């Protein structure tokens, strides 16, 4: 088979895939909506650290395909498992604040991801306050007109991994 002809369908599929994705790296209504969804997630996370689960339940999709891979090294799949993890964290009442920095937002038609650096601090067993920075990736899906969290993945923090 002619190599030029064999590569044409692959090239056409690649171009079609790029057109369908409608990726946005800067600006636009969709990016603003995803940025707002990320802001709501971090607000919910900080509220969760006070023991209040309400906002966290609102920002997440309740679908069976959601995933959580947090700083403890655990992997939860499906809303029931993810919810259980968040409930356990809320019960601890860490009184911590996480601030996202260096946000990088990529938006497709119905999927988006936000990569960022989470800045926070914690108090160790000796009572010493230590700051930390970890990388995070937040995945969102547009469901019924709203961007909902479907995945959360961070670096490991050795002091919390099991």
| 8 within some domain | no
Q: Record the tokens describing residue 12, joined without a space.
A: 């056409």
CATH number of the domain enclosing 107: 3.10.450.50
Rounded Cα gap, residues 103 and 21, in angstroms: 20
For position 161, what pLDDT does the model report?
58
| 1 within some domain | no
| 52 within some domain | yes
| 159 within some domain | no
| 86 within some domain | yes
Lowest mean pLDDT among 22-36, 59-73, 85-99, 136-150: 22-36
What are the helix and strand counts (H, E) for the chain? 4, 6
Give 34-55 as a DSSP string.
Answer: HHHHHHHHHHHHHHHTTT--HH
Give the pTM: 0.80
75: left (phi over 0), alpha (psi -120 to 50) or beta: beta
| 4 within some domain | no
Mean predicted confidence (pLDDT) in 43-47: 96
| 16 within some domain | no
Specify the higher pLDDT residue, 121 or 73.
Answer: 73
| 7 within some domain | no
Q: Which long-range contacts (CB under 8 A, 24 or more apart) does 116-120 make?
A: 116/38, 118/154, 120/96
Overall domain count for the chain: 1
Q: What residues make up the domain containing 48?
A: 23-154
């Amino acid at each position: 088979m002619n190599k030029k002809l064999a590569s044409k369908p692959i090239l056409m599929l690649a171009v079609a895939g790029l057109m369908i994705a409608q990726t946005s790296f800067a600006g636009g209504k969709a990016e603003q909506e995803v940025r707002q969804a990320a802001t709501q997630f971090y607000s919910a996370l900080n509220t969760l650290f006070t023991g209040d689960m309400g906002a966290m339940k609102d920002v997440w999709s309740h679908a069976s395909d959601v995933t959580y891979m947090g700083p403890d090294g655990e992997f939860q799949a499906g809303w029931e498992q993810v919810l259980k993890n968040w409930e356990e964290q809320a019960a601890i009442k860490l009184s911590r604040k996480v601030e996202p920095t260096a946000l990088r937002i990529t938006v497709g038609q119905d999927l988006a991801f936000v990569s960022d650096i989470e800045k926070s601090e914690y108090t160790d067993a000796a009572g010493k306050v230590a700051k930390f920075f970890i990388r995070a990736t937040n995945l969102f899906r547009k469901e019924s007109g709203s961007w909902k969290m479907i995945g959360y993945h961070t670096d490991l923090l050795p002091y919390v991994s099991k």
